[in-house]
Structure 1
Amino acid sequence: MHSRIRRQTSSCDSPQQLSKTAKVVDGRKTLSRFEDVFVVQKKSTFADNDHLALLTKKAEVFLLETFGNVYRKLGQSSIIKGRNEKIIYKLVSLDFTIDKKQMPLGFSSEHLLAYDKCDHCHLLLHNGTGKSFMVIACGHGYHESCFTILLNKKCLYCENVLKLDIRTNVSSFLSRLSKLATKKSNLKEFIDADDDSSQDQMISDEDDILEVLQKDKQALPRVEQAYSTALERFLNI
């Protein structure tokens, strides 16, 4: 009752208007024959079972046509080399081209995925032996036994891509750091010296780090050593 009154009133209504509305709402609870005869009832166009059935069939036809088109054009997609050796993929079934950066990680690895073969043993995924298989997020597909037992649940192709990118980024950063100074120092001494200094600024990004190192150049080599150690540990995981 309270919710019905709220739907038909506003915060600006006077007490008299609220009282009148409440009486009308209460009366309509039992005396609804007048409204049923003369008031046009709002009804959703798609509430009818026939309309819902029609929409369901249209959706089924659309999905069947889409996935049928994908199935018929399996293996027809191609790799296109654009300007500056930029690699893009032409997706025939969807009728558009896409950059490899927008594709799963497996398309950036040295071993391009095969849609019908295991990317480890290179045997057919559907080989009639009843072996279960999986396609993981990067796009590579494996027999379950190959992925869980032989690869220890890791995609080595994509792991190498990530390691190479991390190594490249860290090397680039260390190269920038090495230009600031050539003397050796200790990272611990750098931290202690920073605590004793009057620099209370927060180092929130790479530019802030470079600014601090420019003021204290003796700390640079130890920072470089720390990054090298951290990189080594990550790559040996």
Structure 2
Amino acid sequence: MHSRIRRQTLSCDGPQQLSKIAKVIDAKKTINAFEDAFVILKKSTYTDKDTLALLTKKTKMFLLEIFGNIYQRLGQSSVVKGPGKKITYKLASLDIIVDKKQMPLGFISEHLPSYDKCDHCHELLCDGTGKGSMVIACGHGYHESCFTLLNGKCYYCEIFLKLGIKNNVSSLLSRLSELDKSKSKSKSNLREIIEADEDSLQDQRIENEDDILEVFRKNKQALPKAEQAYSIALEKFLNANIVI
């Protein structure tokens, strides 16, 4: 009873909620009328032993047919060349066409995996001499002795990966150099803008000085008035500093 209550309650339930849940569980346990009213019982259509045996036979037939077709189509897969450099593969065993991106790494390399030959010595993998052979994850197959000579590495896939890394690094370096050029160009443009602004300020300063001289030429009393205004402003400034 305690385990049933735990399965149907939460840690945040209060005493009243726990009491109600316990009463419902007890009612379901002891009163059949309660279960008949609120619980819908369904009988599985596969409980009959004869039905289960029939389903088992059908499943066996389906699997035998699928794997039989796969075995009969071994070695019939082919490469389908599309427009340009696009290459796809027809998997005869599954009767589908897939892109090379969906295939193991060996099918993207320059040397496609052989079906029944060693990709190093190009002899049959199973030649009846008792040589051990293997097909590794990339799809290439090797004799164990050949794979040992390659230091446990797939030669073709290693070349493909090294070339890809080299191309990606070269692309990254070229992008970084272009970024540096653009930054230096923007800095030079900014320097030109700043210099142009300084020149314009200097020109404006000269124009303002010319205006002042022109005022002095037209009005002879402008200079004494300016000196008087300056002395008054200076006196106010000094008095303000003394008060502070």
After TM superposition, the score normalised by the length of structure 1 is: 0.61
State the partner residue of 1:58. Answer: 58
Deviation digits for residues 58-79 of structure 1, max 9, x if unmatched?
Answer: 3332222222212222222221
Out of 21, 25, 28, the residue aligned to residue 18 of structure 1 is 21
Deviation of residue 53 (structure 1)?
Answer: 3.8
Q: Which has the higher contact order (CA 8 A, sep 6+)?
A: 1
Deviation of residue 52 (structure 1)?
Answer: 4.1
Deviation of residue 105 (structure 1)?
Answer: 0.6
Q: 1: CA distance between counterparts of 2:90 and 2:113?
A: 15
State the partner residue of 2:203. Answer: none
Q: 2: CA distance between counterparts of 1:8 and 1:43?
A: 24
Q: 2: CA distance between counterparts of 1:15 and 1:75?
A: 67
Q: 1: CA distance between counterparts of 2:59 and 2:154?
A: 37
Does the CA contact (< 8 Å) of 2:5 and 2:22 recur in 1? no
Identity of aligned residues (%): 63
Deviation of residue 92 (structure 1)?
Answer: 2.4
* 2:169 is the alignment partner of 1:166: no
Deviation of residue 113 (structure 1)?
Answer: 0.8
One-letter amino acid of the structure 2 residue matched with residue 82 of structure 1: G
Deviation of residue 14 (structure 1)?
Answer: 5.1
Q: 2: CA distance between counterparts of 1:56 and 1:132?
A: 38
Does the CA contact (< 8 Å) of 2:114 and 2:140 recur in 1? yes
CA separation of 1:95/1:131 partners in 2, compared to 1, >3 Å: closer, same or farther? same
**Which stretch shifts more, 158-167 or 88-97?**
88-97
Q: Which ranges of structure 1 fall in alignment gaps of 5 or more residues?
A: 183-209, 216-237
Q: 2: CA distance between counterparts of 1:78 and 1:163?
A: 27
Does the CA contact (< 8 Å) of 1:89 and 1:98 recur in 2? yes
Q: 1: CA distance between counterparts of 2:109 and 2:18?
A: 72
Give the SS at the match of 1:85.
coil
Give the SS at the match of 2:151.
coil
One-letter amino acid of the structure 1 residue matched with residue 63 of structure 2: L
Q: 2: CA distance between counterparts of 1:132 and 1:75?
A: 21
1:186-201 equivalences under 5 Å are none
Deviation of residue 127 (structure 1)?
Answer: 1.6
Does the CA contact (< 8 Å) of 1:107 and 1:113 recur in 2? yes
Q: 2: CA distance between counterparts of 1:49 and 1:143?
A: 50
Deviation of residue 138 (structure 1)?
Answer: 0.5
State the partner residue of 2:131. Answer: 131
1:94-173 equivalences under 5 Å are 94-147=94-147, 149-173=148-172
Deviation digits for residues 24-83 of structure 1, max 9, x if unmatched?
Answer: 35547xxx8xx9xxx985444445554444333333322222222122222222212212
Does the CA contact (< 8 Å) of 1:125 and 1:142 recur in 2? yes
**Which structure has more helix as a fraction of its residues?**
2
Deviation of residue 146 (structure 1)?
Answer: 2.1
Deviation digits for residues 121-167 of structure 1, max 9, x if unmatched?
Answer: 222222222333221111111222322x2122111111111111111
Does the CA contact (< 8 Å) of 2:76 and 2:92 recur in 1? yes
Give the SS at the match of 2:84.
helix
One-letter amino acid of the structure 2 residue matched with residue 111 of structure 1: H
Q: 2: CA distance between counterparts of 1:175 and 1:2?
A: 71
Q: 1: CA distance between counterparts of 2:86 and 2:49?
A: 52
Deviation digits for residues 203-230 of structure 1, max 9, x if unmatched?
Answer: xxxxxxx98xx88xxxxxxxxxxxxxxx
Work out the number of aligned pairs and report it: 179
Give the SS at the match of 1:84.
coil
CA separation of 1:6/1:181 partners in 2, compared to 1, >3 Å: closer, same or farther? closer
State the partner residue of 1:71. Answer: 71
State the partner residue of 1:80. Answer: 80
One-letter amino acid of the structure 2 residue matched with residue 119 of structure 1: D
